[in-house]
Structure 1
Amino acid sequence: MPRLHSLELLLDAAGEAAVRRQWQALRDAGLPSMLDHAGATNTPHVTVIAVPSIDATAEARAVELIGPLLPIEVRASGLAVFGGERLTLARVVDVDDAVLRAVLDLRAATTGHQHPGWLPHLTLARRLPRADLPRAVEVVGTGDAVMVLTALRRWDPDAGTVTPLVTPREPPAPG
C-alpha cells in the first residue's frame, strides 16, 4: 500500500502542549505513545484527508474551503479506539458544521480515501496492545478540552516534507 499524503490542521501552542502532555503521560506509564514516532514532522494534528497523492488543485481547494475558517475552536472530547489486535487510541475532536461541510466538500473533490466520511481526531498512541487499553484510558483520562486549530499543512511522505498552506492564525482578542 502506498504511503498516504495528507492535509492536516495544526493546533495552537496551548493545544499542542496539552496533547504532548498526554503523549508523555503514556510514555511515562510504559505504554505506546505518539512520542515514539521520532520524525521531525511529528506534531499533534487533525488529518483532513489522507490519499495516495495530492495535487495543486486539491491544495488550492483546501485553502479555499478551510483557510477562511481558521482559527477554529474545537473540543477534544472522549476517546476513540481503532484497530484489531493492536489498537490506535485517539481523542475525538468535535467541530462545527461549517468545518464539517468544508472537509466533506474537499473529500468529494479528491479520490483514494481509505475510509468513507470523516472522524476528526488527535492520535495519542498507535500499536497499543489490546490488554493495555484500560490502563491507557486511565492515563489519558476522558475529560474534554477546548483547543484551537490555527494552521493547515500538507504532509508529503515521499519527500518527507511538510508544506504550510495556511500559516498559523491566532484567534482575535476578546472585546
Structure 2
Amino acid sequence: MPRMHALELLPDDAGVGVVRRDWQALHDAGLPSQLDHRGTTNSPHLTVLAAPALAPEDEERASELVGGLLPMEVQTSGIALLGGVRVSLVRLLEVPDDVVRAVLGLRRQVADVQHRGWLPHVTLARRIARSDVPAALAAIGHDESVMTLTTLRRWDPDAGTVTIL
C-alpha cells in the first residue's frame, strides 16, 4: 500500500494544547497515544484528505477552497472509534457548513482520495485494543472545547516534508 500524501488543517497553540492534553492523559494511563509517535511532523491536525499522490493544482485548489476560510473555529463534539480489532480513538469535530462544502468540493477534484466522505476528527491514539477502550475513555474524559484552525499544510511522505500552503 502506498504511503498517503495529505492535506491537513492545524490548530493554533491553544488548540494544540487541547489535543496534547488528551495525548498526555492516554500516555500517563499506560495506553497507546499519539504522543508516542516521535516523528518530527507529528502534531495535532485535522486531515482534509489523503491520497497516493497530490498534484500542484491540488495544492492550489486546497489553498483557494479551504485555506481561504482560515482561521476557523471548530468544536469538539464527541469521541469515536475507527477500525477493527484494534481501533483508533478520535475526537470528532463540528466544523462550519461552508468548510464542509469546501472540503467535499476539493475531495471530488483530487484523484484516488482515501476514504469516502469526510469525518472531521483529530486522532488521539491508534491501535488501541478494544478491551482498553473503557480505560482510554476514563483517561481523556468527555469535555468539549473550541479550537481555532489556522494553518493548511501538505504532508509529502515520499520526500518526508511538510509544506505550509
What RMSD in Å do the two structures reach over aligned CA positions?
0.6
Asked if the contact 2:6/2:156 (under 8 Å) is kept, the reply is yes
Shift of 1:106: 0.3
Shift of 1:139: 0.8
Residue 69 (structure 1) aligns with? 69
Shift of 1:115: 1.4
Number of aligned residue pairs: 165
Shift of 1:142: 1.5
Residue 56 (structure 2) aligns with? 56
Letter of the 1:160 partner, please give it. Answer: G
Residue 25 (structure 1) aligns with? 25
Identity level (%): 59
Shift of 1:77: 1.3
Residue 148 (structure 1) aligns with? 148
Letter of the 1:158 partner, please give it. Answer: D
| Residues 17-74 of structure 1, C-alpha deviations (whole Å, 9 max, x = no match) | 1111110110000000001111000000000000000010000000000122100000
Which structure 1 segments of 5+ residues have no match? 166-175
**In 1, Cα distance between equivalents of 2:94 and 2:28:** 28
Residue 135 (structure 1) aligns with? 135
3-state SS in 1 of match to 2:66 = helix
Q: After TM superposition, where is structure 1 displaced by more than 3 Å over at least 4 residues in a row?
A: none
Asked if the contact 2:33/2:125 (under 8 Å) is kept, the reply is yes
Shift of 1:114: 2.5
Letter of the 2:157 partner, please give it. Answer: P
| Residues 100-125 of structure 1, C-alpha deviations (whole Å, 9 max, x = no match) | 00000000101212211000100000
Letter of the 2:31 partner, please give it. Answer: L
